[in-house]
């Protein structure tokens, strides 16, 4: 079983409020000896992955531990991973993995495949933790960080028009709630993750939507980030 966030907070001597905030993130990172920045924005090192960033990105996605065919017939696994990423997912057909393994590969992709593009798009100018999380989530979903007009507007010092242009990326309609959260995170620093992710089972290479369940992934995520 995955320990509840409140159990982890109690173990670390924190107030067991069940919320993933800066104090919890900092304490967990220190306890694990992670070589990444703590999750408080005042100590954030630009373009590093923190537990808080990864928790936010997973909240915008879902976890499917077994390979499945997406809506256009592409074999997909874990947190939206396809073989085009460089990590072959055929191995997960009829072979479900642990949540920690899914998060390990997702973290690797964010660090090695998507993070460098985000850094290049913003010309290495420092982004705070919330901005990097939002931009990384946007790029993981769209693959368009290097050509998005909102990025260009932000880079030349026009945050108002950048905020408006962010919502140009709102198709299909189902993506609007995610895009809104990303926009509010980038421009307002408004985080939305509650430390849980939606997990689905697979049957016949199709997600079983009725199997959706909310799972606390705190311990699995930190295990993955240590790998």
Number of domains in the chain: 1
Angstrom CA distances, 91 to 65, 82, 83, 103, 159, stand at 12, 11, 10, 16, 44
| Confidence label for 5 from pLDDT (cuts 50, 70 and 90) | low
Task: For residue 71, say if its preceding peptide bond is cis, omega within 30 degrees of 0.
Answer: no
Residue 4 pLDDT > 80: no
If one counts every other C-beta atom within 10 angstroms of the C-beta of residue 192, the result is: 15
Write out pLDDT tens, residues 106-139: 999 999 999 999 999 999 999 999 999 999 999 9
What contacts 193, CB < 8 A, 6 or more positions away?
Answer: 20, 52, 55, 56, 58, 59
Write out pLDDT tens, residues 137-165: 999 999 999 999 999 999 999 999 999 99
Phi/psi region, residue 197 (left: phi>0; alpha: psi -120 to 50; beta: rest), is: beta
CATH of the domain at 90: 1.10.530.40
Q: What is the pLDDT of residue 39?
A: 41
Q: What is the pLDDT of residue 20?
A: 55
The answer to whether 159 and 189 have CB atoms below 8 angstroms apart is no
The residue count of the chain comes to: 227
Domain span including residue 170 = 5-226
pTM of the model: 0.81
Write out pLDDT tens, residues 36-80: 444 445 689 999 999 999 999 999 999 999 999 999 999 999 999
């Amino acid at each position: 079983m995955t320990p509840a966030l409140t159990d982890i907070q109690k173990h670390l001597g924190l107030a067991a409020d069940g919320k993933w905030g800066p104090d919890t993130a900092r304490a967990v990172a220190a306890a694990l000896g992670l070589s990444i920045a703590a999750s408080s924005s005042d100590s954030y090192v630009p373009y590093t992955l923190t537990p808080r960033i990864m928790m936010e990105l997973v909240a915008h996605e879902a976890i499917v531990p077994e390979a499945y065919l997406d809506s256009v017939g592409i074999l997909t696994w874990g947190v939206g991973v396809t073989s085009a990423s460089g990590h072959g997912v055929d191995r997960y057909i009829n072979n479900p993995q642990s949540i920690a393994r899914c998060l390990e590969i997702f973290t690797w992709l964010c660090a090695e495949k998507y993070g460098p593009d985000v850094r290049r798009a913003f010309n290495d100018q420092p982004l705070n933790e919330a901005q990097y999380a939002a931009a990384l989530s946007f790029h993981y979903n769209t693959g368009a960080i290097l050509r998005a007009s909102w990025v260009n507007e932000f880079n030349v010092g026009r945050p108002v028009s950048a905020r408006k242009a962010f919502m140009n990326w709102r198709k299909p309609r189902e993506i609007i709630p995610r895009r809104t959260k990303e926009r509010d995170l980038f421009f307002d620093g408004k985080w939305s993750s509650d430390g849980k992710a939606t997990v689905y089972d697979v049957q016949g290479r199709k997600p079983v939507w009725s199997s959706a369940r909310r799972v606390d992934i705190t311990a699995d995520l930190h295990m993955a980030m240590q790998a």
